[in-house]
Amino acid sequence: MSWAIRRMAAADIDAVLALEEKTPEAPHWNRLEYERCLVASDPGSVVRAAFVADADGEVVGFSVGKLVAGVCELESMAVACEARGRGIGSALVTAVTDWARANGGDRIELEVRASNARAIRLYERSGLCREGLRTGYYHSPDEDAVLMGAPLWSGGKLA
């Protein structure tokens, strides 16, 4: 399977929603939330960017970042089960961090389900560190969130 990371387009939203539905650990957003990621924000407002992993015309992963006051939050990310283990997750994290850095970001943060060991390992390999725990953060099922973060720097990698 060959794949490439690109900015999300409006035509990708149905596929992103379908992938999200098949991924219980992913945040579940509605169409409007993804549409907001595609619209240029007014100066001083929240800035978002969304990326997809495209494998021969099929969306097999996505990531969404939000940038506020120099801090990028990796808000949502998922990779299709059949596409995992091929570097797509790392590439999606890199797409968000590169975008954040190019737009003045100096830090990245996220929350991840405490039981999602695979995602935690991915984020640690990407340079993020565990910084805390938010008890009872997730629902359906109820679960704690591991808080992770790292500074960004202009050398092209997480610090």
Identified catalytic residue from 34, 73, 75, 123: 123
Identified catalytic residue from 111, 124, 131, 137: 111
Whether the CB-CB separation of 135 and 142 falls below 8 Å is answered with no
Whether the CB-CB separation of 64 and 49 falls below 8 Å is answered with yes
CA atoms within 13 A of residue 4's CA, in its CB half-sphere: 4
- In order of 84, 90, 97, 109, 133, the CA distances from 68 in angstroms are 30, 23, 13, 11, 22
Active site residue 109: no
Active site residue 111: yes
Catalytic amino acids? 111, 123
